[in-house]
Chains A and B, each alone.
Chain A
Amino acid sequence: MSDHNHGHNHADTHHHAHPAKPGFSRRTFLRRSSEITLAAAITITAGGALLNESEAWALEVKALKPETMKTLILMARDIYPHDKVPDRFYAIAVKAYDAKAAADPQFKSMLETGIAGLDTAAGAGGYVGVAWEAQRVALLHQISSTPMFETVRSGLVVSLYNQQELWPIFGYEGESYSKGGYIHRGFDDIDWL
Chain B
Amino acid sequence: MVAKFDQNDDGVVVIIGSGAGGGTLGNELAQKGINVVILEAGQRHEYEDFINDEWASFSQLAWTDNRTTSGSWRVAKNFPNLPAWIVKAVGGSTTHWAGASLRFQAHEFKTLTTYGHVPGANLLDWPITLAEMEPYYARAEEKMGVTRTGNRPGLPGNNNFKVLKAGADKLGYKECHTGNMAINSIERDNRNSCQQTGFCFQGCKWGAKWSTLYTEIPKGEATGKLEVRPQSHVLRIEHDASGKVTGVVYADKDGKEQRQKARVVAVAGNSIESPRILLNSHSAMFPDGLANSSGQVGRNYMRHMTGSVYGVFEKPVHMYRGTTMAGIIRDEARFDPSRGFVGGYEMETLSLGLPFMAAFLDPGAWGREFTSALDGYSNMAGMWLVGEDMPQETNRITLSSFKDKYGMPVADVHFDDHPNDIAMRNYAYKQGMALYESVGAIRTFPTPPYPSTHNLGTNRMSENARDGVVNKHGQTHDIKNLFVSDGSQFTSGGAENPTLTIVSLAIRQAEFIAEQMRTKTI
Contacts and interface: CB of A to CB of B under 8 A. Distances in A.
Q: Give the interface centre of B53, B321, B363, B368 by most chain A CB atoms within 10 Å.
A: B321
Given A8-B64, A10-B55, A162 B197 contact: no
Interface stretch (A25-33, A100-108, A185-193): A185-193
B25 to A, nearest CB: 28
Given A11-B56, A186-B321, A177 B205 contact: yes
B157 A174 contact: no
Interface stretch (A35-43, A61-69, A112-120, A153-161): A153-161
Q: What does DSSP make chain B's interface, helix, strand, loop or mixed?
A: loop
Interface string B354-366: 1111111001101
A147 interface: no
Contacts of B166: 193
Contacts of A10: 53, 55-56, 58-59
Interface string B151-172: 0000011110011001000000
B199 A1 contact: no
Given A3-B359, A10-B59, A182 B367 contact: no
Nearest to B80: A4
A124 interface: no
Q: What does DSSP make chain A's interface, helix, strand, loop or mixed?
A: loop
Contact of B52 (A167, A176, A189): A176
A81 interface: yes
B52 A188 contact: no
Contact of A188 (B159, B194, B356, B367): B159
A190 B317 contact: yes
B196 A170 contact: no
Interface in A7-58: 7-11, 13
Interface in B339-398: 353-360, 363-364, 366-368, 370-371, 374-375, 377-379
A7 B321 CA distance: 25
Nearest to A133: B368
Given A158-B55, A170-B354, A171-B378, A182 B371 contact: no
A137 B439 CA distance: 35
Contact of B158 (A8, A78, A161, A187): A187
Interface residues of B, number: 62
B468 interface: no
B195 interface: yes
Given A170-B377, A188-B162, A193-B439, A8 B371 contact: no
A170 B375 contact: yes
Contacts of B379: 171
Q: Give the interface centre of A8, A181, A187 by most chain B CB atoms within 10 Å.
A: A187
A153 B29 CA distance: 50
Nearest to A178: B52
Nearest to B53: A175
Contact of A172 (B85, B353, B368): B353
Interface residues on A, range: 35 or more
A78 B366 CA distance: 9
Given A2-B82, A158-B359, A182 B439 contact: no
Nearest to B313: A192
Q: Give the interface centre of A7, A188, A192 by most chain B CB atoms within 10 Å.
A: A188
A177 B162 contact: no
Interface string B181-211: 0000000000000111111000001100000
A157 B195 CA distance: 30
Contacts of B62: 1
A98 to B, nearest CB: 21
A180 interface: yes
Nearest to A77: B371
Contacts of B371: 80-82
Contacts of A157: 358-359
Nearest to A170: B377
Contact of A187 (B159, B313, B316, B360): B159
B195 A183 contact: yes
B32 interface: no
A97 to B, nearest CB: 16
A188 B53 contact: no
A190 B349 CA distance: 15
Interface string B34-60: 000000000000000000111110110
Given A1-B359, A1-B451, A11-B56, A177 B377 contact: no
Contacts of A181: 194-198, 206, 322
Given A1-B82, A170-B354, A192 B315 contact: yes
Given A82-B375, A171-B316, A172-B320, A1 B85 contact: yes
A80 B382 CA distance: 22
Q: Give the interface centre of B53, B80, B354, B375 by most chain A CB atoms within 10 Å.
A: B354
B195 A1 contact: no
B335 interface: no
Contacts of A9: 59
Nearest to A164: B53
A193 B79 CA distance: 37
Nearest to A180: B195
B318 interface: yes
Contact of B374 (A13, A82, A153, A193): A82
B159 to A, nearest CB: 4
Interface of B: 52-56, 58-59, 62, 64, 78-82, 85, 156-159, 162-163, 166, 194-199, 205-206, 313-318, 320-322, 353-360, 363-364, 366-368, 370-371, 374-375, 377-379, 439, 450-451
Given A2-B79, A3-B78, A171-B378, 20 more contacts: A1-B356, A2-B82, A10-B53, A79-B366, A137-B367, A161-B359, A170-B378, A171-B316, A172-B320, A174-B52, A175-B53, A177-B52, A181-B195, A181-B206, A182-B158, A182-B321, A183-B195, A185-B321, A188-B158, A192-B315
23 contacts: A1-B359, A3-B79, A3-B363, A7-B55, A13-B55, A81-B368, A81-B371, A153-B366, A172-B353, A172-B378, A174-B52, A175-B52, A177-B197, A181-B196, A182-B322, A183-B197, A186-B159, A187-B196, A187-B321, A188-B162, A190-B162, A192-B314, A193-B162
